[in-house]
Structure formats: C-alpha cells, structure tokens
Chain A
Amino acid sequence: MDNIIEIRNLHFRYDADGENPSEEVLKGIDLDIKQGEFVAILGHNGSGKSTLAKHLNAILVATDGKVIVDGIDTADETRLFELRQRAGMVFQNPDNQIVSSIVEEDVAFALENLGVPYDEMRKRVDEALKAVNMYDYRLHSPSQLSGGQKQRVAIAGIIAMRPKCIILDEPTAMLDPQGRKEVLSAVRRMNREHGITIVLITHYMDEAAQCDRVVVMDSGRIILDNIPKKVFSQVELLKKIGLDVPQVTELCWELRKSGVDISSEIISEEECVAEILRLFNS
C-alpha cells in the first residue's frame, strides 16, 4: 500500500523567523502512514503531538524538513485547498468549529466554499450526515445537541469533502463517556467502511488501544511506534514519560511483577478475562 503521509526529518519551532523563536517543539520527526491505516498519536501535554497534527493540514509549516500528504508538499501554498480537502481536520472543542446555526448547513460549509453545485452538495451532505448517524438532526440547531453529537456533526462536515485522510486533534477530550463512545465508533466506521486514513491524537489509552498502530511522542520526538500490544507492553517506559497504560494492561503488569505468569500483551478486558481463565484452569 502507498504512504499517504510522509514526514521526513521534521523540525519545528514557533515564530522561527521572528525575534524570539521558541524552543524546538518538534525535534526531527520521521513518520510514514499508509493509506487506510488507523493510527493513534499518544503523548502527554507538551509532547508536540498537536503541533505535529497541525503540520498534516498545513496550519503550521515545517521550519526544517518535509511533510508530504497525498503527494502534496504542505509548504506549497498554491495547493493549500487541495491539501485541506484531502486531509480534513477535526478539533478538540466542538463548539468552536461549527459555523452555521443549522446542522446541515454546517456540514455543507466546506462544499459551499469549494463551489460544489447544489445537487451534488445536497447528495454529499445527506451521505455525510447518514455516515455519522446524524441525519435525523439535520435541521436542528447545534446548540440543541450534546457534545458527542456536535463532534459528529463536525466530522460529517469533513467527510462531506470526501477526504482520503482525517486528522482528529483530541476530538473526545471535552466529551462525556457516552459522547466519546459515539465519536470513536463513528471514526472507526469511517476507517473500516470507507477506507479513510485516520490519525487520532489522544491522551486516552483505551482509545489508542483500539487503533491499528500507536505512535508515542515525548518532548518533540517519536519514542515508540508499533502495534498497540507491543507499545503497551513497555509499561515502565510509558510510565517514565508520564503516560498511563490501559487499566487491564496495568493489572497484568502488576500480576507479573508479583510472579504470576501472565502475558504482557493484553490491552482489552476480554483478553484479560480469557487469559485469567486460562491460568485458572491450567
């Protein structure tokens, strides 16, 4: 499969050409993401994960190095809209990214900007709303919706552009557990059914555990990049950089420390139950 995102030796500091450039926020990132992958980028506050995400959509442009998204160099300003159509971005606060007072018009916002003709727009808006299960709310005002619903509307607004890739910058950080579940399942469906590449920035371990691949960042560098099981088996390293592991993984790690012969690659409750039952029976 082809890489949709290629990052080569990315360095970034804020206000690089200004009078007081900040410290380097990103210190040489190399990352390839394949078409159709579901990748989580994990890290605690200040690790540079959100800064990295903003490079994928040319909100920020590299101080040094290259970011290529679907064949487009993000430094190329002439292809900015083309890039943003192919790689859509969903932000943390659902309230601050909804533009219109009517749900369906908000979903249409990007299409209106791109000058998509009415018939095509109507079709795509309805499809996008159905894809996130918000079609019944199409004539509501966003202020009548819950956080999870608003975030799904924001996702629909991106899907309507028919992007190849969606970057979500902590989309569930401001939501209640129910809202988190709704948003994550909508995102997962986009990935499975429509083959859209997903880059999920998060600090929730259980969300990262559901992805195909987890990239862990710490102070501007990538320190782990592997499938979730392998990443979360590094309990000591993760704890050292201030991250937790999923509760079940931690449980197994504690058990192993006290001498129980239990697998180190457990990331879901079902796996944990099965493993404990196996030990119990043997």
Chain B
Amino acid sequence: MLKDITIGQFFPGDSIIHRLDPRFKIIMTFIFIIMIFTGKSMICLGIGAVYTVTAVLLSKIKFKMFVKSIKPLMPFLLITAFLNILFVNGETVYFHWKFIKITSEGINVSIFMIIRIVMLIVGSSLLTYTTSPITLTDAVERLLSPLKRFKFPVHELAMMMSIALRFIPTLIEETDKIISAQKARGAEIDTGSLLNRAKNLVSILIPLFISSFRRADELATAMECRCYSGGEGRTRLRQLKSSSMDYIALSVTVFFLLCVIMTNLIYS
C-alpha cells in the first residue's frame, strides 16, 4: 500500500516541456514567479495566465493533475481570501457591521490573490511534473556550482539529495515489512485510539532508524570501494545539453516578463 506514494510527482512524457533542459526550466520557473508577483493589475495576471495555460497545454499533462495539486491548499486559500474580504479597507462599502466592512477593494484583492497563488502552484507543479527528481537535483547542482567558490557544499548537498531519492523506495518497502512484523506481534497500528496509534508508531520508527544507519554505513563503505572522494575532479555520465529550443523558451518567458513590467508602467 505504501508503494503507491510517489514523491515529486513526476509524469514521464515526451512533450516539448519534458524535453527542455532542466536548468532552463528552473530558471524559467523563477522568472515566472517574478512575473506573477510583479504584476499589479488584472491585465498583468491575464498575461501570466496566457503563459501558464500555454505551458500546461504544451506539457500534455492532464488538467486534472493540476486541480489535484491545488486541492490541498484550497482551505488555506479560502480562509485568506475570506479575511481579506472582511478587513481590507476601501471606499465602496457594500456591508458594514461594527469593525467588519465588506468593500469592493477587499473583494478585488481576494480574487487577485487567489488567481496569483493558483498560478504559482500550477507553474511550479509543471516543473516537478515534467522533470524527474534526479534530473532536477542534477540541474540544481549545476546551477549552484558557482557557489563552490565560496566553499558552499553544492556537490555534497546534491549527492545527499540523490541518495535520499534512491533510498525512498527501499525504505518504504522496509517500513511495510516492519509494519507487518509488528502487526504479527500484536501491535495495533491502524486501530485503537489516536494516542495508542501514535505510541505504536514508535515501534515502527525505531527499527527503521536503526536499519537506516546500518544501510548508511554499508553504503559508505561501498562508495569508498568505488573510489568516491567527494566532488573534486568528478566527471558525469549524464550530460545536460541545451538546444536552441531552450533558448527560444527562455526568450519567450523573458518577453512575457517584460510585457508585465510594461503594463505596470503604463497603468501606474
């Protein structure tokens, strides 16, 4: 049952978006975030929406998946929107009771914020939906590599990240086994009161931790046996190559950002 958990939610595919260089995709996601947060008017958001929808369509990923990614954040969104409606001051007042005022400005701000955050989620989901976690790690390592000059442990962080990704399925399998073993000994893991269940969780976590340490020890020996000595002088089997397509996509993104900035200037 635990095997169904997917981390990073990657949907393999062969669309234009999938094929883009992951380094460019990360940079474009950043530009996109700047784009939707600098936009001050509905027109700016409209430009952002055109960009988002085009990218989603190009990725050929089902629209349903994006709805799924927004769902868990929906309560948070609605509460914030609700508070905005109640407490933002403005001139056109629709309803007034003690300190609560509902104004057209308040409603505008809430709608604006909801659209902004929904676009933010869709945009960043698009990155993880179309890029496998391991490629993503690799791209982050390369993007951050200039920081090595300042003694920032870029390679080490990326190596930890990729080992963590590698061991997620292994540890999930192990957890499954421990759960069965503890159930066979009479542990109540999915029955009983909440407190009891929480207590019983300890009987799963402790064996899991101990075995993880043992694994880490063995893995370290195995890595040393294969001449691992840190990031210095390493070469890579995975080559990231940027094509003209990446530069076109980047230019388009920058163009959209410029449009948003221009609109801001015109309407201010």
Chain A residues within 8 Å of B, Cβ to Cβ? 57, 59, 81, 84-85, 88-89, 91, 93, 95-102, 104-105, 108-118, 121-122, 125, 141-143, 157-158, 161
- Pairwise interchain contact A125-B237, C-beta atoms closer than 8 A: yes
Contacts A99-B166, A100-B162; is A59 near B221 (CB within 8 Å)? yes
Closest to A54 in B: B221
| Chain A contacts for B237, CB-based, 8 A | 104-105, 108, 111-112, 118, 121-122, 125
- Pairwise interchain contact A113-B234, C-beta atoms closer than 8 A: yes
Chain B residues numbered 209-235 whose CB sits less than 8 Å from any CB in chain A: 214-215, 218-219, 221-229, 233-235
Task: Write the B96-112 contact mask toward A (1 if CB under 8 angstroms, else 0).
Answer: 00000000000000000
CB distance from A77 to the nearest CB of B (A): 12
Closest to B225 in A: A89
- Pairwise interchain contact B218-A93, C-beta atoms closer than 8 A: yes
- Pairwise interchain contact B165-A97, C-beta atoms closer than 8 A: no
- Give which listed residue, B134, B229, B233, B235, contacts A102 with CB less than 8 A: B134
Closest to A141 in B: B169
Contacts A93-B218, A96-B215; is A113 near B226 (CB within 8 Å)? yes
- Pairwise interchain contact B225-A59, C-beta atoms closer than 8 A: yes
Contacts A96-B215, A112-B237, A117-B235; is A101 near B227 (CB within 8 Å)? no
| Chain A contacts for B224, CB-based, 8 A | 59, 84
- Pairwise interchain contact A115-B221, C-beta atoms closer than 8 A: no
- Give which listed residue, A91, A116, A118, contacts B222 with CB less than 8 A: A91
Closest to B233 in A: A115
- Does B170 sit at the interface, judged by CB under 8 A? yes
Sort chain B's interface into a size bin. 20 to 34
| Chain A contacts for B166, CB-based, 8 A | 98-101, 142
Contacts A91-B222, A113-B228, A161-B226; is A101 near B165 (CB within 8 Å)? yes
Contacts A95-B215, A105-B237, A105-B238; is A114 near B227 (CB within 8 Å)? yes
Closest to B220 in A: A96
Closest to B216 in A: A96
A-B residue pairs in contact (CB < 8 Å), sample of 22: A59-B225, A89-B222, A89-B225, A91-B218, A91-B222, A93-B215, A97-B218, A97-B222, A100-B162, A101-B165, A112-B235, A112-B237, A113-B226, A113-B229, A115-B234, A117-B235, A118-B236, A122-B237, A141-B169, A142-B166, A143-B170, A158-B226
- Does B239 sit at the interface, judged by CB under 8 A? yes
Chain B contact residues, majority secondary structure: helix
CB distance from B57 to the nearest CB of A (A): 28
**C-alpha spacing A96/B170, complex, angstroms:** 9
- Does B262 sit at the interface, judged by CB under 8 A? no
| Chain B contacts for A158, CB-based, 8 A | 226
6 new A-B contacts, CB < 8 A, other than A96-B218, A97-B219, are A91-B218, A93-B218, A108-B237, A113-B234, A114-B227, A143-B173
| Chain A contacts for B162, CB-based, 8 A | 99-101
| Chain B contacts for A81, CB-based, 8 A | 227, 229
CB distance from B211 to the nearest CB of A (A): 10
- Pairwise interchain contact A109-B225, C-beta atoms closer than 8 A: no
CB distance from B226 to the nearest CB of A (A): 4
Q: Which of B166, B224, B227 has the most CB of A within 10 A?
A: B227
Chain B residues numbered 246-268 whose CB sits less than 8 Å from any CB in chain A: none
**C-alpha spacing A98/B163, complex, angstroms:** 9
**C-alpha spacing A161/B225, complex, angstroms:** 11
CB distance from B209 to the nearest CB of A (A): 15
| Chain A contacts for B234, CB-based, 8 A | 112-113, 115
Closest to B228 in A: A113
| Chain A contacts for B226, CB-based, 8 A | 84, 88, 99, 109-110, 113, 157-158, 161
Closest to A91 in B: B222
**C-alpha spacing A143/B2, complex, angstroms:** 14
- Pairwise interchain contact B235-A143, C-beta atoms closer than 8 A: no
- Give which listed residue, A99, A105, A125, A143, contacts B163 with CB less than 8 A: A99
